[in-house]
């Protein structure tokens, strides 16, 4: 409830709107209570608030955004846990918490991923960060065997990572110089960390996902 209020307030201020501007289906005082985490709007009121903020109700609630942000931040335990703290506990969030906890602690074994190709991809990234390329290849190959046909982006990432591991990450980059330069510019203009939970948007997540895919396809390591 508090996170929703902070997300509403952050977006309202970004658009330079007042609480009165959002009160088309309620009162300014109720908007204030929502922003302070003291009350929760009905679905109808949430919908009108979201419309005033040029968002969907789903974007405003942000659960899916936070989950995607946690996945993208799995190599940064502090940041990943920041997003997970605002999500309900599920088998996936529990696995992500275990995975990110061992990403920077070589003494902890990498937990076996559930039968989800994306979790295999993330486990492979953690193994690679720990300089365990054989284990990274094992996770990536197992993820591909799960046949993620209905998840083309995950399939592309798994295939690209496995190809890079098979070819050798130390090999010279074969990507055209213009594409490599574009990737450098994207990396230079992109924050090393995604925004805080109250201000993260679909555009932030989409940009980070694009950077991750380009990095894999170009054999050019992301930051």
How far is the C-alpha of 74 from the C-alpha of 52, rounded, in Å? 33
Both 101 and 70 in one domain: the answer is yes
Does residue 223 sit within a domain?
Answer: no
Both 99 and 209 in one domain: the answer is yes
Total Cβ atoms within 10 A of residue 115: 9
* Count of CA atoms in the C-beta half-sphere (13 A) of 161: 33
Q: Say yes or no to pLDDT of 200 above 60.
A: yes
Tokens of 7: 């997300």
Cβ contact 146:158 at 8 Å: no
Percent of the chain scoring above 90 in pLDDT: 45
Last residue of a domain, one of 40, 60, 80: 60
pLDDT-derived band at 175, boundaries 50, 70, 90: low
Q: Which domain holds residue 34?
A: 2-60
Q: Say yes or no to pLDDT of 191 above 70.
A: no
Both 19 and 124 in one domain: the answer is no
> What's the rounded mean pLDDT across residues 21-27?
91
Residues whose CB is less than 8 angstroms from the CB of residue 105 and which lie 6 or more positions away in sequence, other chains included: none
Mean pLDDT score of the chain: 85
Tokens of 41: 């709007």
Does residue 51 sit within a domain?
Answer: yes
Both 15 and 29 in one domain: the answer is yes
Both 28 and 108 in one domain: the answer is no
Give φ, ψ of 170 to 5 degrees.
-85, 0
Residue 170 or residue 5, greater confidence: 5
Into how many domains does the chain fold?
A: 2
* Count of CA atoms in the C-beta half-sphere (13 A) of 176: 3
Both 201 and 124 in one domain: the answer is yes
SS3 103: coil
pLDDT in tens, 54-99: 888 887 887 888 999 999 999 999 999 999 999 988 999 999 999 9
Helix (H) or strand (E) holding 166: helix 152-167
Residue 4 or residue 2, greater confidence: 4
Last residue of a domain, one of 42, 60, 78: 60
> What's the rounded mean pLDDT across residues 126-143?
94
Both 169 and 200 in one domain: the answer is yes
Does residue 222 sit within a domain?
Answer: no
**Predicted TM-score of the model (pTM):** 0.77
Please give the distance of CA 93 from its chain centroid, rounded to a whole number. Answer: 12
Does residue 22 sit within a domain?
Answer: yes
Both 132 and 178 in one domain: the answer is yes
Percent of the chain scoring above 70 in pLDDT: 85
State the CATH number of the domain containing residue 34: 1.10.260.40
């Amino acid at each position: 409830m508090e996170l929703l209020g902070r997300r509403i307030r952050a977006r309202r201020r970004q658009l330079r709107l007042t609480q009165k501007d959002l009160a088309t289906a309620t009162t300014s005082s109720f908007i204030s209570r929502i922003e302070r985490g003291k009350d929760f709007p009905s679905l109808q009121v949430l919908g009108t608030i979201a419309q005033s903020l040029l968002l969907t109700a789903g974007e405003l609630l942000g659960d899916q955004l936070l989950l995607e942000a946690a996945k993208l931040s799995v190599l940064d335990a502090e940041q990943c846990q920041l997003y997970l703290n605002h999500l309900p506990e599920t088998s996936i969030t529990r696995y992500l918490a275990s995975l990110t906890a061992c990403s920077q602690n070589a003494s902890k074994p990498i937990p076996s991923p559930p039968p989800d190709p994306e979790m295999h991809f993330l486990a492979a990234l953690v193994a690679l960060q720990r300089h365990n390329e054989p284990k990274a290849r094992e996770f990536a190959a197992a993820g591909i065997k799960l046949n993620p046909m209905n998840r083309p982006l995950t399939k592309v990432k798994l295939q690209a990572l496995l190809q890079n591991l098979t070819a050798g990450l130390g090999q010279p980059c074969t990507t055209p110089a213009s594409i490599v330069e574009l990737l450098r510019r994207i990396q230079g203009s992109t924050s090393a960390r995604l925004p805080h939970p109250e201000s993260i948007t679909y555009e932030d997540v989409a940009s980070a996902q694009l950077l991750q895919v380009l990095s894999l396809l170009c054999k050019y390591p992301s930051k």
